Structure 1
Amino acid sequence: MPKHLIKRWMPDHKTLKEHKHLRLFGDLLLDANLWHLNRRSAAGAFAVGLFMAWIPVPFQMLLAAGGAILFRVNLPLSVALVWLTNPLTMPPLFYAAYVVGCHLLGQPSQHIEIEFTWSWLTSVFETIAPPLLLGSLVLAILSSITGYVVVRGLWRLSIVRQWRNRGADKE
């Protein structure tokens, strides 16, 4: 069940191999482990993808692809999971990371008027960056571990049910 559900949502491996930004990985994309979908590769892909989704940089997909190659887990799933933080969800998720970071650092969160200028960005970088980066790291680690454990558990549960159904069908 989880395998069929995940396969339905995964991007095509041929499309990813030809993606202009992923070409920089070259022959590393030929590793068969990057394209297999099993309990280990899916759980690892969830861990890598969810971790990279919390990293506040614009090239999360490349980081996820690099992580998938490094850990030899399912690459399409890792890359697809970084879209958890898309333009719609990014502001509330990174604000939550900022609040978590402020709480961990023991400092109050600030109300900040956002301007899209370089001078504004450099002026607030010192006050916003430490709690944002700490909160992002903590939430990345928690999401990664949770995703890994949940996928492994659900996959195992699905396999146990299949085995039970096979036994019931024989009787």
Structure 2
Amino acid sequence: MENRWRQRRRRIRRWLKPLPRRATIHRYPILNRFTDFARRRPYLWSFKDASVVRAIYLGSLLAYLPTYGAQILIAFIAAWFGRANLTLMIGLQMITNPLTAGPIYLAAYGIGTGLAGLLQLPPRHAVFDGAVALVLGGLSLGLMTAVCLHGLWLFGRFEARRFRRRRMAHVLPPKAEN
């Protein structure tokens, strides 16, 4: 049981290693200017439910918006105002990377065009309509991703509590009655 617990901790640490943490935020080119500011805000580093759920929803919505290149700075500002977990917010921004940006934005444009047709938005200018479609599609993809990730978070939290109860029962056997 103890080995399984250590393996889980090692796996989680490996996943979180490339992401900014309170101790390593100074290494990130954009965020290093805000190091002192971010270290004084404990909610940016908290993995409590409220902070994580806010980060899941805000981060997923931002990940699919056409803000590639400025995502980390926007995520930092959104985490600060939304009192969300910064590590998770920036991790979610990595969904859109140079390999996935094209397909994601094409899918967001297609979904957004369909939504604009359903909402019967009046046509304006081709560039404006394209931007509206991209934003609508990005928001809908982000919301779908956020709902899925929230479900995974709830399942993971349930499993962690169950594992912790089993571990404690294994470590501390029940007292014998006299």
Identify the TM-score tier after normalising by the shorter chain: 0.7 to 0.9
1:148 and 2:158 matched: no
Distance between the aligned counterparts of 1:166 and 1:81, measured in 2?
Answer: 33
Q: Shift of the alpha carbon at 1:93?
A: 0.9
TM-score norm. by structure 2 comes to 0.71
Match of 1:78 among 89, 93, 102: 89
Distance between the aligned counterparts of 1:7 and 1:70, measured in 2?
Answer: 27
- Taking every aligned residue pair, what percent have the same amino acid on both sides? 26
Tell me which of the two structures has the higher relative contact order, counting C-alpha pairs closer than 8 angstroms and 6 or more residues apart. 1
Q: Shift of the alpha carbon at 1:56?
A: 0.7
Spell out the pairing of 1:129-168 with structure 2 (5 A cutoff).
Answer: 129-167=131-169
Match of 2:42 among 32, 41, 46: 32
Partner of 1:47: 57
Q: Shift of the alpha carbon at 1:125?
A: 1.8
TM-score norm. by structure 1 comes to 0.74
Distance between the aligned counterparts of 2:167 and 2:83, measured in 1?
Answer: 32
C-alpha offsets along residues 99-120 of structure 1, whole Å, 9 cap, x if unaligned?
Answer: 111221228xxxxxxxxxxxxx
Task: Indicate the SS of the match to 2:94.
Answer: helix
Q: Shift of the alpha carbon at 1:134?
A: 0.9
Partner of 1:16: 25
| CA-based RMSD | 2.8
Structure 2 portions without partners, runs of 5+: 119-124
